[in-house]
Structure 1
Amino acid sequence: MPEPLDGFLLAAGLGLRMGPLSCCLPKPAWTLRDRPLLQWGADAMRRAGLTRLGCNAHLHVERLRAVAEGIEVCEEPHLLGSAGGLRHALGRVEAELLTWNADVWAETVPFDRLREAHRSARATLSWLLIPHPGGRWNPVWMDERNRILPKGVVGPQGPFHFTGAAAWSPEALALLPEGPSEVNEVLRPRLAGTPGGHLGVVVDPFAWREVGTPEALIEAAAALAPLQEGRLPGCYVHPGAHPSGRLTACILGPEAAPPPALTDHHALWFEEGGSQVRLGLP
């Protein structure tokens, strides 16, 4: 029997929003402060006392596995979606499974607060929410009992923003159908009929940043790692890259080494098979 899991990082996907960067690395393998995004999430879980961590992987599985020290990698040849990916944990959860979106950077996540509220309410599924920051994020609304309402329904509490942290009971995992499934389309309607329901746990905003596009990666490097990945102003420089030339709005991936005399902009550079690869960024 596989060992139980108490934490799971959602790390599978096609990386479509990352564009050309997904030809090089999966999103959770890109680094900030010389640490992969996957391990930032894992560290936050470990600080909450979680010891048995897993993640799913679809794109560049071996490259994700290379940065997944201490994390069981569950290969996903066919994408299972935002809900279906948690089928890897079916039958392996004793109390609750805490989850995190692995393309998000956060130094600390209040997993303790989420777990405490989830257990106290005996919820089926709990989401960690913050007050909605504005912008494009889909709002989440709750009723008077802190139960999350169906997507698109406005309630007396809200709007809030889902941070990506959740607590899944074994009963919630049992609701997942075979094959691919999505949280909003498949799971949320099923939660309405459960005794524990879908709980919202609201906390104060904390340092949190989604790193889902090339622009977001450059911005995160400048804000969070100005002496490391952000050391070339306006660009992102992977710890294994060798920057040279005059570059603007470029991303240098593992072992990137542009020619010294080069002037370039809006491009991705990385090493592949002993050759330097350049791909234009949108």
Structure 2
Amino acid sequence: MPEPLDGFLLAAGLGTRMGALSACLPKPAWTLRGKPLLQWGAEALRRSGAARLGCNAHLLPERLRAVAGGIEVFDEPRLLGSAGGLLHVRGRVASELLVWNADIWAEDPPFDLLRERHREARATLTWLLIPHPGGPWNPVWMDHEGRVLPKGVSGPWGPYHFTGAAAWSPEALALLPEGPSEVNDLRPRLPFHHGVVVEPFPWREVGTPQALLEAAADLAPDAEGCLPGCYLHPTARPAGRLARCVLGPRAAPPSAVTDADALWFEEGGNQVRLGL
């Protein structure tokens, strides 16, 4: 009988918003400060006591598996969606499952508090929320009892922003239909969808090439962002005159090249260049 899991990282997707970058790595395998995004989330979960972790994989699963040390990887050839991806672990959760979106970088998400409030409320599903920062993200509203309201419905508490951290009870996982499903479709069936609001903490979504370039400059100026305006994978060897370029795994542009708005990486012993 497989051991129960304590945490799960949602790491499957088509990588559409990453554009050309998805030709060489899935989003959670891109690094910041030398550490894949997948492992940033995994380490935060482990610090909260979530010892046994899993993740799902769709795009280039072998490359995600290569950076998934200590994480059980569930291949997902057919995408199952933001809720359906948890079908992999249904029946393997003893109390609650802490869940994290693996394309997010954050320092110390308060998983301990999330777990504590989830248990106190005896909730079916609990989301970790922060005050809405503005921008394109859908606002989340709650009623006076701390229940998260349906998408598009405003209430007395809010607006808030969902951070990507959630606690799922076995009861919630049991409600998952077979096949693909989305969290917003499941929410009306949950007996108690709870929200826990915390102060903003260092957090950013790394879901586009521009977001990766900005994260490298802001968070890793001595590593991935050490070539101003560009991103350097730890295995890349920069050369030439580059602007707004992403140098992916084993990238080694010619020393005489002048280039901008491009992705470089090595594939099958050849250097590949794609426009961003």
Fold-level match, TM-score > 0.5? yes
Q: Aligned equivalents of 2:85 and 2:267: distance in 1? A: 29
Residue 200 of structure 1 corresponds to which residue in structure 2? 195
Residue 223 of structure 2 corresponds to which residue in structure 1? 228
Deviation readout 1:237-258 (Å, 9 max, x if unpaired): 0000000000000000000000
Residue 239 of structure 2 corresponds to which residue in structure 1? 244
After TM superposition, list the pairs within 5 Å mapping 1:100-139 onto structure 2: 100-139=100-139
How far residue 2 of structure 1 moved from its aligned partner, in angstroms, is 1.4
How far residue 22 of structure 1 moved from its aligned partner, in angstroms, is 0.4
Residue 272 of structure 1 corresponds to which residue in structure 2? 267
Residue 21 of structure 1 corresponds to which residue in structure 2? 21
1:145 equivalent to 2:145? Answer yes
Q: Secondary structure at the match of 2:207?
A: coil
Q: Secondary structure at the match of 1:187?
A: helix
Q: Aligned equivalents of 1:107 and 1:227: distance in 2? A: 18
After TM superposition, list the pairs within 5 Å mapping 1:42-191 onto structure 2: 42-184=42-184, 186-191=185-190
Identify unmatched segments of 5+ residues in structure 1. Answer: none
Q: Aligned equivalents of 2:189 and 2:267: distance in 1? A: 45
Q: Secondary structure at the match of 1:40?
A: helix
What one-letter code is carried by the residue in structure 1 that aligns with 2:35? R
Q: Secondary structure at the match of 2:225?
A: coil
Q: Secondary structure at the match of 1:278?
A: strand
Q: Aligned equivalents of 1:189 and 1:273: distance in 2? A: 48
TM-score, L = length of structure 2: 0.99
Deviation readout 1:194-224 (Å, 9 max, x if unpaired): 2xx0000000000001000000000000000
Runs of 4+ in 1 over 4 A off after TM superposition: none
Q: Aligned equivalents of 1:56 and 1:107: distance in 2? A: 22
Residue 263 of structure 1 corresponds to which residue in structure 2? 258
After TM superposition, list the pairs within 5 Å mapping 1:3-22 onto structure 2: 3-22=3-22
Count residues with an aligned counterpart. 276
What one-letter code is carried by the residue in structure 1 that aligns with 2:102? A
1:34 equivalent to 2:34? Answer yes
How far residue 59 of structure 1 moved from its aligned partner, in angstroms, is 0.6
What one-letter code is carried by the residue in structure 2 that aligns with 1:268? L
How far residue 189 of structure 1 moved from its aligned partner, in angstroms, is 1.5
How far residue 188 of structure 1 moved from its aligned partner, in angstroms, is 1.0
Residue 2 of structure 1 corresponds to which residue in structure 2? 2
Deviation readout 1:134-180 (Å, 9 max, x if unpaired): 01110000000000000000100000000000000000001110000
TM-score, L = length of structure 1: 0.97
Identify unmatched segments of 5+ residues in structure 2. Answer: none
Q: Aligned equivalents of 2:112 and 2:253: distance in 1? A: 45
Q: Secondary structure at the match of 1:83?
A: helix
